[in-house]
Structure 1
Amino acid sequence: MHYVYVLRSVKDDGFYIGYSANLRKRFEQHLQGDSPATSHRGPWTLIYYEAYIEQADAMGRERYLKSGAGRRFLKAQLANYFKRNPIKSTASA
């Protein structure tokens, strides 16, 4: 399987959208600070993921979720999560 995922930083309330063929291993790498893109902003919480059979589909979805329309989709998709866990800083999904 191939995964697209969204992490939320406990430190600064920011978000990270990524792709991996092994979600558990990749999330552990983020938690351990082994990813240069996220090491300075952890710890992280996994708040959303999607699974795909085809790698190309997952990578295309990752690109979309990083776009303005994709971020708006995530805000709508995770509306109940954000009601219970409001964004405290100026970071945006």
Structure 2
Amino acid sequence: MAWVYILYSRKIDKYYVGACKDLDRRLYEHNLGHSKFTSTGVPWELVYKEEFQDLILAKRHELKIKKMKSRPYIEGLIRKGSL
């Protein structure tokens, strides 16, 4: 199983879209500031998650969301919710 997830930082008012196999571990890493972008927005809050059969499918969906480059699109996903 794999996940597409969206995190939100109130501190910088930004969303972060990612895909992974271990959602709890990945959220923990983001909140430790392991990546350059997410280190600026700690603490991150999980606002959306969607489960996929494997990481390949999850990565495809992650890229689809990122290609939209649209905050309203992301916020629409969150409103429809999968949390």
TM range (shorter): 0.7 to 0.9
2:74 aligns to what?
74
Q: Which has the larger radius of gyration?
A: 1
Give the equivalent residue in structure 2 for 1:44: 44
Q: What RMSD over aligned residues (CA atoms) do the two structures have, in Å?
A: 2.2
Relative to 1, partners in 2 of residues 1:34 and 1:70: Cα closer, same or farther, differing over 3 Å?
same
TM-score by length of 1: 0.74
Unaligned 5+ runs, structure 2: none
Q: Distance in 1 between matches of 2:13 and 2:69?
A: 20
**TM-score calculated relative to the size of structure 2:** 0.82
SS at match of 2:38: coil
Cα distance in 1 between the residues matched to 2:60 and 2:70: 11
In structure 1, runs of 5+ residues without a counterpart are: 82-93
Q: Return the alpha-carbon distance in structure 2 between the equivalents of residues 44 and 38 of structure 1.
A: 8
Checking the alignment, whether the CA contact within 8 Å between 1:8 and 1:46 is kept in structure 2 is yes
Compared CA separation, residues 76 and 3, structure 1 to 2 (3 A): same
For 2:21, give the aligned amino acid.
A
Larger helix share, 1 or 2: 2
User: Mean Cα displacement is larger for which, 20-29 or 65-74?
Assistant: 65-74
